[in-house]
Every structure is written in C-alpha cells, then in structure tokens.
Structure 1
Amino acid sequence: MRFLVIGGTVFVGRHFVEAAQSRGHHVTLFHRGTKGPGLMPGADEIFGDRDGQTDRLAGGKWDAVVDCCGYFPRVVEQSVKALADSVDRYLFVSTISVYDMAGRDRLDEESPVLTIDDPTIEEIRGDTYGALKALCENVVVETFGDRALIVRPGLIMGPNDVSNRFTYWVTRMAEGGRAVAPDRPGQPMQLIDVRDLGLFMVLALEKELGGVFNACGPETPKTLADMIDACHTLNLGTELVWVDPSVLAANGIELWQDLPLVMPADGSDEAMQRVDNRRAIAAGLAFRPWEATARDTLAWRRSQPEDGPPRFGMDRAREAELLSKLHL
C-alpha cells in the first residue's frame, strides 16, 4: 500500500513509518523539514507546511493518509479538502482527551466528547486540547464518512518520546540511589508502547477499517506500581521511597508535573486510565511487556544529547532536598 504521512518525523508518526516499511508499504512524508531531510530512510518526502501549503500535494495518489499532527479544525480542513480525491482512507490520530470524563469511572468509544464554546480558538491548553481534537475528528468524518479511521490513543510511552513522562521513571530508576515515589501503588495505569500503536495503525489500514478505536494500553489491573516495577528492573539497586501524596503536596511537589503519570490523589481523573480497548484488540492491537519498553526507552535516551530542562519530572537536587527535609 501507499501511505501519505502528515508529519511522521517525531514520535507516533515516526514509529508508524517504521512499522509500515517493515511490512513492505511505501511511505511519503509531508512535513516542513525542520527535523532534517532524510530522517526516515526509504521514505519519499514532500516539504511544506500543512497550514497553507497543501497545494504541494496536488497530483499525488495514495491508499491512505495518516494525520499525526492535527490540532486545529481549520488546519485539518485544509488537508481533508486537499486529499478528498487523492486518498481512499483518512486515519486521524486523535486522543482519549476528547472524552468528557466528568463523573465517569470508565470510558468507551461511545462516551460523550467535549465541546468548546469558540471553535476558532487556536491555543492548546488543558481546557481546549481535547475539545479541539474532537472538532478535528468531525472535520475528517464529514468528508470521508466510513472511510475515516479515528484512532484515540491514551498515554504513550517508548523511544523518541521527548515529553519525559515515562522516560522520567526509566532514567530515574536506572540511575540508582533513593528515589521518591507517590504512595498510590494501586492507581490504574494504561500505557501503550508507541511501536505497538504504530503497528496497530498499519494493520487497521491494511484491513481497510473505519470508525473509532481506543488504542490504549492493557486495561486494569495494571497499576502505577506495575509501571514503576517495570522501570525498576533496569536497576534493582534503586531504593524506592514511597511518600504519601498529601505530604508531597504540602512540600510543593505536584503529581503529574513533578512525578509524571501520577493522577490526583482523589482519583478524580482515573477514568482516563480505565478505557475500554476491546474494539482495538479485536482489530489487531497487541502489547509488548512494559519491561521491554523500559529497556528500549533507556537505550534511546542514553543515545541522545543532553538538552534543556524536560517538560515533566523533578530534578535530582530537588528530590534529595525533599528526602532530607522529610528525614527519609
């Protein structure tokens, strides 16, 4: 099959390309070139900005397009219109953040999605991200109908993830010493390896599927403790120091931000870790062990140059200061 990938040089798109090529498919990337040309060997490239330069796709013909980087309906509409007669199927990478999780303890593909008062807003914030993604889905479905494939991942982990959410725990456990962990070991945790997600997307296109699929990791009883244990295998000498979330909060440590992937202690956001993924599993979604993901993520991170402060996770000096202050 011939796939056009919008983006495809960062995280999800990158691993889709690798999975597609491993199965003998031909890939063309449409991207701005900011990550460097030739980043994905064997793929053709068309350089351009999806916002205003989709005319550069004119004359092409592909079996499917994979849209990895659509955040605003106005911008997604440009690619949808430009490709309406050039592709047979449109795969839009969305997110489980589209769901209205208020008052819910579990989610499936039929759960209601968020709405937004002003659909012209083009600023990604906590209160706009999910609703704007839902509007982007609508734009795709309005044109492609049952040829639209909407993939809603949950929390994604693995090589090339620069967010430092899962990577924080990988590097922290591997480093050794005494490591702070929030005393919420039973928190449900759904994580999917980006490579499993990429392969699922390829399989779904091969089967010419349409509709909505929650592409989330294994459902509960996977827990926060399971995730930390998987990372802990990288260095069993690391000593875990479990600290009550209320004590962490009293000392200015923010769950999710300073200790990534940890939900509020009141459990109010746990619905995003209890997502029904049976439809995707039936369509071919499969999972590798979290220990393998941790090992491969560490190898990737160690191969990268040191950069600026990460988006998530506290530094070691702050962690040591906390442990000293608490006499732990």
Structure 2
Amino acid sequence: MTHTGQSILVLGGTQFVGRHIVEALLAAGHRVSVLTRGRTTDQLPGEVERLRGDRNEGAAGLTALGNRTWDACIDVSGYTPRQVRASAEELRDRVGRYVFVSTVSVYAEQSRHPVREEDPLLPHAAEDVTEVTGETYGPLKVTCEGIVEEVYGPSATLLRPEILAGPHDHTARYTYWIDRIAEGGPFLAPGDGSDFVQVIDARDFARFTVRVLEEDRPGTFNLAGPRLTWQEFVNVVQEATGVRAEPIWAGQEALKARGVAWYELPIWIPVGSEQGGLMDVSNEKALAAGLTLTDPLTTARDTRAWSAAYPQKILFSREHEGEILAIVAPKPL
C-alpha cells in the first residue's frame, strides 16, 4: 500500500543529496521538516519547516524536536556513532521508519567484483570515535548502521550510495571532470581508458529514498548507476559539454612517480586495485525495488549547467597538471 502526504523529518537536508531528497519529498506531496545546525546556505523552498539542533551535543542538541512525531526520518548527516545514537534513541517511538544514508565504503573486501549487499563489512569503529578521516569513515558508518538496526529492527532501512553526482555537488569530485573537459585542450586522464567509472545521480538516489518511505520498505540497498569505462565516460562528458578536449592517458605508476595524489584525480580507482570493486557495485537489489537511473549524458549535462555558474574548488591545480603533461606528453621540438 502506498502512503502519500506523510510527515518526514530530514536530519541534514540543505546540501547536495539532502537538498535533492527534500525536493523529491515535496514533489511527491509530503510535508518536510529539516533539523540542521544552520551553518550552511539554505536554499530550500519556503514550505520546509526549519528546526535547529546539533546531535554532537547528544539529547541536549535535539530539544527542537520537542515531543513531536513524524511518519519517517531520513538521516542524511549521520557520520559518527555519537550523532546517530542521539537521534536514533530520541526518535525511537516517534517515527515509523528510520532511513539511514550510509556508503559503499562500509565493505571490507573492496576488491570484490561486483560488491553486493551481503558482502562482509569493515570492523566496527568504537562509539566514542568522533574524528572522520579516510581511515575511519567506513568503520564509523558500519557502527552507525548497527545502531540504527539495533534501535529500529525491521523499521530500519540502510542506503549505501556510490559516489553521488549531479547539480549542487559541493564535493567537486565528479564535477572536476565535467568542468575540466569543458575548459578544452589536452587534459591529464588517469589510466589507459579501460578502468571504470560508476556514480549515482543524486536525484535518482533521492527518488529511491522517497520510494522506500512510501512503500515502508525495510532492508539494505546499494545505490549505484551505470558502469562506464573511463573512455566512455570521457566521451559522454565531451558530448555533454560540446568540447572535444583531448585526454592524455597516464598510468598509475607514472602518476605516482610524479607526485600526483589520489585526490587530485577524483573518482579514479584502478580496476585491479584493492578498492577496484567500489567501481563495480551491484545495483540489482535496488533496481528490483524500483530504482530508476538517469542516463549518464543527462547527469553530465545537468551538472555542467549548474557548475558553470558556481565555480568549484580546484582539486588538481592547472600548474601541477601542466607540469605532468609536459613530462608524459612532451611537445615535439
């Protein structure tokens, strides 16, 4: 049975995927309250109820919730056990379903092909760990998932997205490639074009989140989009931007030898690496539950239409890129 016009509490909701979730909820006719710290730009529609709170303060940071109830809660901003324990227990008898936004980084064997929901998870982080780093991010999310399942049982839904892409992406990871190719000219491209890119359009993720709420669907779902080779990805972005920028491919060893850090060429994970499976995430379970996917060309076009007006942070300086290109693709004398 599909329920419409529900009251939904979103923890977070002003940035990127949270914003898309709020907009998708409103489009489906639901009433939305967001609980945020009020520290980021809020461009949400006026009909959204704003509540202020900080889960880092425990129950004391959630007084804005009062004694109210909601049909469901979507936790977009839970990164540490302290945060998630506070909201999960505070809302235990006050929401019908608790949807937790996790990550594919929870998997222990990230070289598996493909990565599936039943695969082993990383060891839990201790509940008193509060620092989110590259090393703690996955284990912290594992612990957070466990808290939600412990408190809510069959009323818990865990969503594990791939790298999210699309308009309003403040991380600049996917957007880096859209903007770099739009600039034109030769650009440094990782590998030889045969590795894989797999992201999920944030709007697809948002629509699926609404679906699991409306269907009151429990379970754990990987959310991942189409899997493209890097050459196919470059071709898509060239078509989306209308710019035939030339990729200069450079392999992992060549890049490492020249001091190129992994974060300077975002979303690239060599297919045979220890994390190669994170670009081969199975979305079969989510597709069977109603996940619909936006064409990669549309995602790229829409992202560029947005990013052209909102300059992104530079992950790979043009100076450093130029130095590397001069070595791997020297101009003839």
Normalising by structure 2, we get a TM-score of 0.91
Taking only aligned residues, the RMSD between alpha carbons, in angstroms, comes to: 1.8
Which of 126, 149, 165 matches 2:157? 149
Equivalence for 1:316: 318
**SS at structure 2 position matched to 1:303:** coil
Counterpart pick for 1:107 among 100, 115, 118:
115
- Provide the rounded CA distance (Å) in 2 between the counterparts of 1:265 and 1:209: 33
Partner residue in 1 for 2:218: 210
State the one-letter code of the partner of 1:277: N
Could you report, residue by residue, the CA deviation over 1:75-114 in whole angstroms, capped at 9, with x for unpaired residues?
Answer: 2111011111211000000011111025533321111111
Is 1:263 the counterpart of 2:269? The answer is yes
Give the distance between the partners of 1:36 and 1:176, measured in 2 at CA. 31
Looking at structure 2, the residues matched to 116 and 213 of structure 1 have their Cα atoms a distance apart, in angstroms, of 19
Distance 1:102 1:269, change over 3 A: closer
For 1:37 and 1:316, how far apart are their aligned partners in 2?
31
Q: Name the counterpart of 1:225.
A: 231
Superposition TM-score, scaled by structure 1 size: 0.92
1:243 deviates by 2.3
CA distance in 2, matches of 1:11, 1:38: 11
* 2:73 maps to which of 53, 65, 76: 65
CA 185–271 in structure 1, closer or farther in 2 if over 3 Å, else same? same
Q: Which runs of 5+ in 1 are unaligned?
A: none
Percent identity over the alignment? 38
Residue 285 of structure 1 pairs with residue 291 of structure 2: yes
CA contact (8 A) 2:111 2:278 kept: no
Whether the 8 Å contact between 1:2 and 1:63 is mirrored in structure 2 is: yes
Give the AA of the match of 2:207. L
TM-aligned CA distance change 1:265 to 1:67, over 3 Å = closer
Is 1:17 matched with 2:22?
Answer: yes
| Paired amino acid for 1:244 | G
1:247 Cα deviation after fit: 2.0
Per the alignment, residue 254 of structure 2 pairs with 247
Task: State the 1:177 CA deviation.
Answer: 1.1
- 2:297 aligned counterpart, secondary structure: helix
- Cα pair 1:58 1:82 within 8 Å, conserved: no
SS of 1:241's equivalent? Answer: strand
Q: 1:117 to 1:148 in 2, by over 3 A?
A: closer
What is the CA distance between 1:191 and its match in structure 2? 0.8
Alignment of 1:97-246 (within 5 A): 97-101=105-109, 104-116=112-124, 118-218=126-226, 220=227, 222-233=228-239, 234-246=241-253
- Matched to 1:27, the amino acid is V
Question: Which position in structure 1 is the counterpart of 2:307?
Answer: 301
Gaps of 5+ in 2: 1-5
